[in-house]
Amino acid sequence: MIEKVNPMHPDKVADRIAGAIVDLGYKKEENPKIAVEVLIGHGNCTVIIETSVNYAKKEIRKIVKRITKCNKWKWNIKIVKQDIHLANNQSKEIRCGDNGIFKGFPLTENEKLLSKYARNSYLIYPTDGKFILTDDKLICCQSNVSNKEYKKFTSVIKDKKVIINPLGEWTGGTDVDTGATNRKLGSDMAQSVTGGGLHGKDLSKADVSVNIYAFKKAQETGKVVELCCAIGDTEIDGKPYKEIVEEAKKYINEIGGFEKFAEWGLF
């Protein structure tokens, strides 16, 4: 059983905003330190940023307006410098930026199938959507489309019962629900487990780099990968932490940055 939400789900909108703020940080500094939390919905937007980067609030508002396509918000934007003790941890070298536990799991065929289905659906219906796949059924909650029309899209699915919009047709988005960063980790990581969150953080944070590393290793080996780390560690899984960060950086760059990473997570 697996859930997948698309990039217009309110929680993913929050993740994408956080990711875009991290992308901007990397344009301003080579190795920025950033931790972002976003809460958005019903005309209100709260953004809290702990960072080494000098952001202007107008830059944050511009990102929110671009991603949400909405200009009318009540703003609460707080930008503060990174804690001095956390900053000193990485002042001389790249070391683990936080404590964490991580499990990477190989993807199942159902998980791969649902990811493909959700992405294909989003190409045609780029509005708020949420999907659940079990061994025998597919539950589709797709906004801004008639059930009759969407039934045509799901007609290609022959071996599972398809349930479309159980509560009826709906509009979705941040006028219906709130969104918050890292609230859809099941959708982002499938069975993989983390003690933190993937989005709104720079690459020095284990929540980003070690999660990517553990997930990729699980896919490559076909085995469960279990790791833990402490803030200040210079080696994880027998590898220098710097190399794990470089691998994660390559992965993020290949998919187009942190905002693109936030759209679908790791699969």
- For the segment 44-66, what is each residue's pLDDT rounded down to a tens digit? 999 999 999 999 999 999 999 99
Instruction: Grade residue 133 by pLDDT with cuts at 50, 70 and 90.
Output: very high
pLDDT for 91 beyond 80? no
Q: List own/partner pairs for 143-147 with CB under 8 A and 24 or more apart.
A: 143/8, 143/170, 143/171, 143/172, 143/173, 143/176, 144/171, 144/172, 145/169
Q: Let me know: does 122 contact 4? Beta carbons within 8 Å.
A: no
| pLDDT value, residue 241 | 96
Average pLDDT, integer, range 8-20: 98
| pLDDT value, residue 80 | 97
| pLDDT value, residue 86 | 81
Burial 109-129, CB ≥16 within 10 A → b, else e:
ebbebbbebbeebbeebebbb
Expressed in percent and rounded to 5, the helix, strand and coil fractions of the chain are: 40, 25, 35
Beta bridge partners of 76: 46
| pLDDT value, residue 207 | 96
| pLDDT value, residue 74 | 96
pLDDT for 89 beyond 90? no
The letter for the amino acid at 118 is A
Fold (topology level) of 10-89: GMP Synthetase; Chain A, domain 3 (3.30.300)
When the pLDDT of each residue in the chain is averaged and rounded to a whole number, the result is: 95
pLDDT for 182 beyond 90? yes
Domain ranges of the chain: 2-6+112-164, 10-89, 100-107+179-262
Instruction: Grade residue 112 by pLDDT with cuts at 50, 70 and 90.
Output: very high
Instruction: Grade residue 90 by pLDDT with cuts at 50, 70 and 90.
Output: confident
Residue pLDDT, tens place only, 223-262: 999 999 999 999 999 999 999 999 999 999 999 999 999 9
Out of 92-106, 122-136, 252-266, pick the least confident: 92-106
pLDDT for 29 beyond 80? yes
Percent of the chain whose predicted confidence (pLDDT) is above 70: 100
Average pLDDT, integer, range 15-21: 98
